[in-house]
Amino acid sequence: MIEIREISKSFEEVKAVNNVTLTIQDGAVTGLLGTNGAGKTTLLRIAAGILRPDEGSITADGENIFDVPAVKEKIFFLPDKPYFFANATTASLARFYKNTYPDFSAERFLELAKYFGFEENQRLRTFSKGMKKQVSILCAVCANTKYILCDEVFDGLDPVVRQSVTGILRDEMGRRELTLVIASHNLRELEECCDYIGILHKGGVLLSRDIQNMEYEIHKVQGIFKDSGKELLSAGLSLVSCRQTGFLTTLLARGGKEEVRAAIESLEPECWEFLPLTLEEIFINETEAIGYDIKTLIS
Ligand SMILES: Nc1ncnc2c1ncn2[C@@H]1O[C@H](COP(=O)(O)OP(=O)(O)OP(=O)(O)O)[C@@H](O)[C@H]1O
């Protein structure tokens, strides 16, 4: 478990991370969501032990990440833009990581690289952005570290490569206990793969949620109502939005599930059902309640 307690980090007058407290749960995928400049990269670099926080403490399995070198061997940081040495090849990369991470499996790395169509002696500088990302993700999974911290791992990837990247990470989580942190400015990317999501804004955590076990105070309903949905306004529902497509009405309403159910049933619709909420809908509701417009914080 990575425990982040009240950490702050400034670059001259810019407070990149501001009093952040967050727990990264073992064996789960945590998403860090935030716009450009929200502090995601800085927070990941602190969690990887690359940067020392100005204030606060950050530990992995109870040990201080920055000060204890052995802890850094448990953490693999995947930067936004992978960096490789000038003449690096897949084979030389395997040798490099073997020397850096004690549990790095060069055999598995070369095997997976071959499976993904990369030749051992191909120069990595000739690879496309997506290919470089795939190679760096293979390095991360083959390092066999307990933690992998990914910065914008899906950025700029086409849907096919994105699927393969998700597949590699998902397979690895199935093979062993791996803790993943994925920073992104794109909610939809995180929605697909995360157990927990923290929203960063101006260096601070706006909210963090266990999205698998969230209790919602907002509900989505779709149905066919007698008066084209007009009577919804008088049913005592606290409507967030209401959309009409032909006979079908789709609405978002605030309140407990039973409260919303009772209001809908009182209108005796021809048919109706609860629909699952998207994360965007949940976060719109939550951040509005604390006075933020989520649409300006995510893409
Ligand atoms: N090395 C640095 N020197 C000076 N300022 C920095 C440095 N690194 C980050 N910052 C500043 O800290 C703030 C947070 O930057 P950070 O890169 O952590 O944000 P981010 O959420 O990862 O953004 P992005 O999505 O654009 O990568 C920004 O205002 C940035 O300009």
Strand partners, 275: 220
Q: Where are the domains of the chain?
A: 2-210, 218-276
- What is the distance between the terminal CA atoms of the chain, rounded to a whole angstrom? 29
Q: Which amino acid is at 112?
A: L
- Considering only residues 290 and 226, tell me which one the structure prediction assigns the higher pLDDT: 226
162 three-state secondary structure = helix
Check pLDDT > 90 for residue 56.
yes
- Considering only residues 154 and 3, tell me which one the structure prediction assigns the higher pLDDT: 3
pLDDT of res. 291: 66
Angle subtended by helix axes 129-142 and 159-175, to nearest 10:
0
Residue range 66-94, pLDDT digits in tens: 999 899 999 999 999 888 888 999 999 99
Q: Which amino acid is at 12?
A: E
Contact between residue 2 and residue 179 where contact means Cβ atoms under 8 Å apart? yes
- Residue 40 Cα, ligand 1 centroid: separation in angstroms? 8
- Residue 13 Cα, ligand 1 centroid: separation in angstroms? 12
Which atom from ligand 1 is nearest to the alpha carbon of 45? 18
Establish whether residue 36 lines the binding site of ligand 1, counting it when its CB lies within 6 angstroms of any ligand atom.
yes
Strands (DSSP E) contained in the chain are 2-11, 14-24, 29-33, 55-60, 63-64, 75-78, 147-151, 179-184, 196-201, 204-210, 218-224, 238-245, 248-254, 271-275
Which atom from ligand 1 is nearest to the alpha carbon of 41? 22
CA 28 to chain centre: 11
Q: How many CB atoms are located within 10 Å of the residue 297 CB?
A: 20
Check pLDDT > 90 for residue 16.
yes
Among 8-22, 78-92, 147-161, the range of highest mean pLDDT: 8-22
Class (C level, CATH) for 2-210: alpha beta
Q: Is the whole model's pTM more than 0.95, yes or no?
A: no
Write the ipTM.
0.97
pLDDT of res. 123: 92
pLDDT of res. 9: 97
pLDDT of res. 217: 79
pLDDT of res. 159: 85
Q: In angstroms, rounded to a whole number, what is the distance separating the alpha carbons of residues 164 and 275?
A: 29
User: CB-side exposure of 151: number of CA atoms within 13 Å?
Assistant: 21
pLDDT of res. 254: 85
pLDDT of res. 221: 94
Q: What is the dihedral of CA 7, 9, 15, 20, to 10 degrees?
A: -20
- Residue 276 Cα, ligand 1 centroid: separation in angstroms? 35
Q: How many CB atoms are located within 10 Å of the residue 45 CB?
A: 18
The best mutation among 7, 9, 12, 40 to test binding of ligand 1, ranked by most ligand atoms within 8 Å of the C-beta, falls on 40
Which atom from ligand 1 is nearest to the alpha carbon of 185? 25
pLDDT of res. 6: 96
φ, ψ of residue 73 in degrees (nearest 5): -70, -15
The best mutation among 10, 11, 206 to test binding of ligand 1, ranked by most ligand atoms within 8 Å of the C-beta, falls on 11
Mean pLDDT of 140-159: 90
Establish whether residue 39 lines the binding site of ligand 1, counting it when its CB lies within 6 angstroms of any ligand atom.
yes
Check pLDDT > 60 for residue 299.
no
- Residue 123 Cα, ligand 1 centroid: separation in angstroms? 30
Q: In angstroms, rounded to a whole number, what is the distance separating the alpha carbons of residues 184 and 22?
A: 17
pLDDT of res. 261: 93
Check pLDDT > 80 for residue 298.
no
> Which tokens go with 191?
């929605």
Domain covering 218-276 in this structure, CATH number: 3.30.70.1710
pLDDT of res. 229: 59
Establish whether residue 185 lines the binding site of ligand 1, counting it when its CB lies within 6 angstroms of any ligand atom.
yes
Establish whether residue 34 lines the binding site of ligand 1, counting it when its CB lies within 6 angstroms of any ligand atom.
yes
Mean per-residue pLDDT over the chain, rounded: 88
- Residue 16 Cα, ligand 1 centroid: separation in angstroms? 6
- The residue whose CA is least distant from atom 25 of ligand 1 is 36
Residue range 90-138, pLDDT digits in tens: 999 999 999 989 999 999 999 999 988 899 899 999 998 888 888 999 9
- Residue 43 Cα, ligand 1 centroid: separation in angstroms? 10
User: CB-side exposure of 189: number of CA atoms within 13 Å?
Assistant: 26
Residue range 175-202, pLDDT digits in tens: 899 999 999 988 878 887 889 999 898 8
